[in-house]
Amino acid sequence: MRGFVKSGRFDGSFIWPALTRAGYGRSEDDLIRAIRENKSKQIVHYAVIGLMDLGGAKCLRVLKDLINYPSRDVRTTAVVAVGRIAQGQESDFYGSLLDDPVYKDKMYPMTVLWEVGTEVALPAVIRLAKKIITGKGSFSRGEIDPRYVKQFLERYKNPETEPLIEQLGLIVKDMTFEDQNI
């Protein structure tokens, strides 16, 4: 996922034949309609992918509403789509996902924060760092990578974050090769 939020246009050509067959065009309004009307996970997922390049402020609420969608692919792609569209302007949203006990895919909002997040999310990242340090957060199963947390905290270094950065550094140093390939 590194660089995915900030990257330029990507080749999403594979989504358009299915969306066209389902009756949706290449516009933000059509993609929003595809999300709202469809029960098909594939069409919803493809519409979210399309919004990464065609979406604007109008689609942000629709994308945020997908964080509880049954399909993990749709949920996680929606978080990344919000990041691509809104950049750091939605740092409070990404931080709320880190704090949300129901939302399990913490790696996605953390990656968005790592790439484009602002200091608004610092309290949530501090809480997440404390969970990782105390063993209440899991990173070996792919839930979160402590390197992203550490690097975000380094960006906003202050007396509260310094000991967390140091402790996360020890965790990162002790990670096995398997842990590092999340």
- pLDDT, tens only, 51-96: 999 999 999 999 999 999 999 999 999 999 999 999 999 999 999 9
Separation CA 121–CA 10 (nearest Å):
28
Record the pTM: 0.85
**pLDDT reported for residue 182:** 46
**pLDDT reported for residue 119:** 95
Low-confidence ranges of the chain (pLDDT < 70): 1-11, 137-143, 176-182
| Contact (Cβ atoms closer than 8 angstroms) between residue 113 and residue 91 | yes
| Contact (Cβ atoms closer than 8 angstroms) between residue 55 and residue 67 | no
| Contact (Cβ atoms closer than 8 angstroms) between residue 44 and residue 79 | no
**pLDDT reported for residue 144:** 81
